[in-house]
Amino acid sequence: MPETEGVAGGSGRLRWLTAEVIALIEETPRAKSLVLNIPGWSGHRAGQHVDVRLTAEDGYQAQRSYSIASAPEDRHVMLTVDRIEEGEVSPYLTNDVQVGDHFELRGPIGGYFVWTAAAGGPLLLVAGGSGIAPLMAMLRHRALANIDVPAVLLYSSRTYEDIIYREELDGLAAKADGLRVVHTLTRGHPEGWRGETRRIDHAMLASAGMVAAERPRIFICGPTPLVEQAARSLLELGHQPDLIKTERFGPTGS
């Protein structure tokens, strides 16, 4: 099926590495980016994720998966974590972690939900909330690799303040190199807002997306209802199922 290879290039065990937090970026009131220095890191492709493992003083451990938001070309790995209030790991990563702290991770993981410049385009990206993270890795890769394949990002956020990477996305779109960014806000919008103001639906994908004849490579990442709706609408619009790759996350208590 896919034109991809294994988790770690196939050479032996995926080892746990120790990451050092070298910067923290407050993306939104709920989301924080952690910039990591990871000795021994083998590099990644845009769209892949890592498993993070935290260890408490009594030896208790908790593991969760987080998408990599940085491009392969970036010097450091960035994870963007959305705080789930009743969660176990995300409140720690977004509230408690400080620059200089360490935790374990291993990766990169996942060889399917991946886009490389070599794979070409056009590219149709659909994101909901923190589902933007692996798609941002693709857009950063597209920019840093100077690939001007046509690309559309349709990005659903709750409110204006909840838009992750807002200024950077504005900057990427302003380069006018074939990237179009369409925002939609589902729970209120500021005065003068010119983007969309409802959940992603068939009509929005028909107007904002690309036509099936262009055969875009499609990546959808977000909460399950958004992914189900978007994938279904895109099939109805004539896109081929094997060009649609999805990554879903539910409220898994992370």
- Among residues 198 and 232, whose Cβ is nearest to other proteins? 232
Residue with tokens 């009594």: 58
- Among residues 109 and 133, whose Cβ is nearest to other proteins? 109
Q: How many CB atoms lie within 10 A of CB 84?
A: 17
| C-alpha span between 110 and 103 (Å, rounded) | 21
Minimum CB separation of residue 162 from other proteins in Å reads 22
Q: Positive or negative, the Cα torsion across 157, 162, 166, 169?
A: negative
- Which residues of the chain form contacts with other proteins (CB under 8 A)? 1-2, 4-8, 10, 12-14, 16, 18, 51, 53-57, 60-65, 88, 92, 96, 101-104, 109-113, 224, 228, 231-232, 234-235, 241-242, 244-246, 248-253
Q: Per the omega criterion (within 30 degrees of 0), is the bond before 29 cis? A: no
Minimum CB separation of residue 242 from other proteins in Å reads 7
DSSP 243: G
The CA-to-CA distance between both ends of the chain, in Å, stands at 31
Minimum CB separation of residue 65 from other proteins in Å reads 5
- Among residues 153 and 244, whose Cβ is nearest to other proteins? 244
- Among residues 67 and 172, whose Cβ is nearest to other proteins? 67
Minimum CB separation of residue 118 from other proteins in Å reads 18
- Among residues 20 and 148, whose Cβ is nearest to other proteins? 20
Report which of 52, 49, 128, 129 is spatially closest to residue 92, judged by C-alpha positions.
Answer: 52
Residues in Cβ contact with 225 at an 8 Å cutoff, skipping those fewer than 6 apart: none
Minimum CB separation of residue 55 from other proteins in Å reads 5
